Structures are given as C-alpha cells and as structure tokens.
Structure 1
Amino acid sequence: MSHNQQQTKGHRSEATRDAILSTAERLFAERGLNNVSNRQVSEAAGQGNNAAVAYHFGTKTDLVRAIVRRSSGPIAERRRALVERISGSTRPRDWISCWVLPVVEHFESLGSPTWHARFGAQVNAEPEFRQIVVEEALTDPTLDVILEGLNRCLPPLPADVRIARNYMTRQLIVSTLADCERVLAEGRETPYVSWNKAANTLADALVGLWLAPVTTEPPSVDREANRRPAR
C-alpha cells in the first residue's frame, strides 16, 4: 500500500470514528446510556458493519470514555489558561469561574445544537459510567490547583463539608448546563437562557454555596412550640 493510500485509509478511519462519537453522544443524550446498544450507534452513524463500534472503540465503556475525552482535552486547555491569568487571586469567584467558564466556553464553541452537556447528565445518572468522568477529571491537575486556590479564600471548613460541597458543585454544574443546552437545542427563544447567563448564574450560586455557614448541629424541631393542646 502506497503512502497516499495509507493516508486516505487513515482519514477514512478517523472520519468514521468521529461519526460514531458524534452519533453515540447524541443518542446517549436523548435516550440514556442503557437504552442504546453499540449496534444502534453503528446503524445510526451510517456504518454498514454493525460491529463498527466494537472495531473502532471496543466496549460501550470504552466508547463513553472516548466521548468524555473528546471534550475533556479542550476544556482542560482552557482551564489551564484561565488559572494562569488569575493565579494568586484571593476572590472565591475567580477560582469558581475557572471551574465553570472553560466548560461553558467549550460548549458554546461547538455551535448549536450540542449534546455533550446532556450526555454528561446521562452519564452522571448511571453509577457504572459515572466513575469514568471522575477518573478522567483526576487526570487534570489544574482542578487541584483550583480547589487549593479556592480553599485559601474560604473560611476554615471541616473536611466532610469540603467534600460535600465539591460533590454538590459538580452536580449543579452538570444539571444546570444540561438544562441550558436542552433549551438552546430546542430553539426556544428566551432572554433568560444563554451560555453566558448560565456561566454567570452558576458562578454566583457556587460562590454562595462555598461561603454558606456550616451548621454543626442537625436541624431540630421545637416540640414544645408545636405540641397540640391537650383536650
């Protein structure tokens, strides 16, 4: 096989992989991960070979990981650049913005409609696949830098509170951006929804979340005040 033939074959293979990834992301976003088979993805991607997903990626887990990585790389690059710009900041919102803004900017750069935010929400809803996102996030050291910078700006928080608020932050980002993407994809004209508004609203809410007071005692009910009068 000549060099040109090898290049042509490589380009076709890459185009096929991209088609499969885009199709799988859309189907998973619309139907959920457990309601779509590799065979359905291959057919919807226009592949005559129903085993195309297995050939190019392997298992469904491998396919999901490839979709996650396709966006995690560009997001990580944006995040590193933003962290460099605000390095040394003592404002919690600066560090929160480093968490949120790169994700939003990436989605906005994809045009409309996009599917990755809703795909992320579907992955987050399935414990067997959610760990993939966690594992991929751990490969980005910039997230640790963001958390360290944020923690320096906050009042002392117990370790369990920090862990809980970290988890809540990730959940709020996933669900809010999925809802925003859904509205934008449906073409509903509203002055209240845009990627920029989503980024600002999220950052404001997350600053409040991280600066919220910590209750050391469980909520209690004043039983005497609420006791029914004796008959």
Structure 2
Amino acid sequence: MGLHSDKARETLLDAAEELFALHGIDAVSNRRITEHAGTANHSAIAYHFGGRDELLRALLNRHLEEMDRRRVALVAGLAPDATVRDLLAALILPWIDHLASLPVPSWRARFLFQVRSIPSMGDELAGSAVRNPEVEELIRRLQAALGDIPPRVVQGRSMILGPMVLGVCAEYEQRIQDGTQEPNWAGVGYFFIDSCTGMLAAPVTHPDDFLTLPTTPYLL
C-alpha cells in the first residue's frame, strides 16, 4: 500500500475514532466518517477496510504493537516471585503509557468504552486483551499469586475491574479535553494498580461467588 493510501487510511481511522467516541458506534454512519475525514469518496471505508466491521477491528487493533513492546519490557524485568501488584503493573502500565502519549484531545479511551456496548465488538475487545503470550503469562502468574482466593472469585472481580478501569479512563480523557483536569496519567495508572491489587487480593467473606462467567478478560 502506497504512502498516500496509508495516510488516507489513518485519516479515516482518526475520524472514526473521534466520532465513535463522541456519539457512539451506532449513531455514526460510514458517510459521516468519510465526510469528517475530509474525503468526498463515500465508499472510502469499503475501499480501505472492506466494511464497517473491519474498520472497527482495525480501530481495536490500533496501537497494540506499541503496547505489546512496552509490556514485553516490563515482563522481562519481573522477578520470579513478583507480587500481585508487580504483575498488575505490567498489565496496566502499557495501556496508561499509551494514553499518556496521545495528543490532546484524544479519543481512545472513550472509543473503547463505546465499543463495550456492542456485544460482538465487546468480544473482540476481550479477545484483543488476552491475545499475546505476555498477557497469558501474566494472567497465569496472577492466578498463582492469588492462590488463596477461589478462582471463581478472581474471575468475578476481574470482570468488574475491566469496565471500571476503562470507564474511569474515558471520563478522565473527557476532563482533560474540557480543561478541567491537568493530565497526570502516571498518577492514574498507579492509582489503578493499588486499587486493583486491593480488590483482587481482598479476603473472601462469603462462600459463594457473586459474579461468575465462563471466561472474562483481565482488565485491558
């Protein structure tokens, strides 16, 4: 693909991410995306992506390589007896570092928050969260480090944590855009690490798990 085509594709991705973040997935037509991208070719999404679902998948997979490289470095630095907090840091910080690297305004967290309202895309989002060996290894080590907590409880708690982290990031991104919040993504990241550590490792006071699902993603 040529440089011009690559640029046109990125412009469409930028336009779609912004509009989806602001208005929701279903409220934005392909035509509106192409117009927001500044192109008169209303079939540009079909040309560059093949269709709307493929556009959404391209948006979901955007920047993942960058986050994967950061996570690989963090995992390589973990001690064999890494704590729950250390393991969660390796999961969470690549996402937070990515948000911190984006220009203001950014739309990434709000776009992903909107994606969760689409069942099929929510599954795609969950799949992208656990699709690489580093994340799988971190989840395995977390489960081992939380050995005193029943697996079903860990599963239920992590089901809560994922939407919580994403929702707070989406709201924080909005406040930065509005000018009511000075960006401090590092502070947000370490707040999440501490909070998620406390929730996952908290004592179990009831024999029955409140929330269980066959499979749930860990955070992001």
TM-score, normalization by structure 1: 0.84
Structure 1: tracts of 5 or more residues without a match: 1-8, 220-231
Which of the residues 7, 11, 14 maps onto 1:19?
11
Deviation of residue 189 (structure 1)? 4.0
- Secondary structure (helix, strand or coil) at the match of 1:146 reads helix
Q: What secondary structure does 2:62 align onto?
A: helix
2:184 matched to which residue of 1? 194
SS of the aligned residue for 1:35 comes to coil
Give 1:149 deviation, angstroms: 2.0
Unaligned runs of 5+ in 2: 210-220
Give the Å deviation of 1:63.
0.6
Q: Of the candidates 189, 199, 212, which is equivalent to residue 209 of structure 1?
A: 199
**1:86 deviation in Å?**
1.2
Larger RCO: 1 or 2 (CA < 8 Å, sep 6+): 2
Report the Cα offset of residue 156 of structure 1: 2.1
Q: When the two structures are aligned, how many residues end up with a matched partner?
A: 209
Distance 1:46 1:87 in 2: 50
Residues 87-126 of structure 1 aligned to structure 2 (within 5 Å)? 87-126=79-118
Measure how far apart 1:124 and its partner are. Answer: 1.2
2:65 equivalent to 1:73: yes
1:153 aligns with 2:145: yes
Q: Distance in 1 between matches of 2:57 and 2:40?
A: 24
Mapped to 1, the partners of 2:181 and 2:45 lie a distance apart of 37
Given that residues 20 and 111 in structure 2 are in contact (C-alpha distance below 8 angstroms), is that contact kept between their aligned partners in structure 1? Answer: yes
Relative to 1, partners in 2 of residues 1:217 and 1:86: Cα closer, same or farther, differing over 3 Å?
closer
CA distance in 1, matches of 2:81, 2:70: 18
Counterpart residue number, 2:212: none
CA displacement at 1:32 relative to structure 2: 0.4
Distance 1:120 1:188 in 2: 22
Greater share of residues in helix: 1
Q: Can you list the C-alpha shifts for 1:69-122, whole angstroms capped at 9, x where unaligned?
A: 112221111111111111414311111111111001011112211110110100
Shift of residue 36, structure 1, vs aligned partner: 0.5
> Which range moves more in the overlay, 15-24 or 178-187?
178-187
Counterpart Cα distance in 2 of 1:19 and 1:122: 20
- Does residue 20 of structure 2 align to residue 28 of structure 1? yes
AA paired with 1:185?
Q
Contact residue 96 and residue 207 of structure 1 kept, 8 A: yes
Letter in 1 for 2:193: A
Q: How does 1:55-66 map to 2 (within 5 A)?
A: 55-66=47-58
**TM-score, with length taken from structure 2:** 0.88
- What corresponds to 1:223 in structure 2? none
Alpha-carbon distance in structure 2 between the residues aligned to 1:152 and 1:74: 28
Identity %: 31
- State the Cα distance separating 1:218 from its structure 2 match: 6.1
Q: Is residue 175 of structure 1 aligned with residue 167 of structure 2?
A: yes
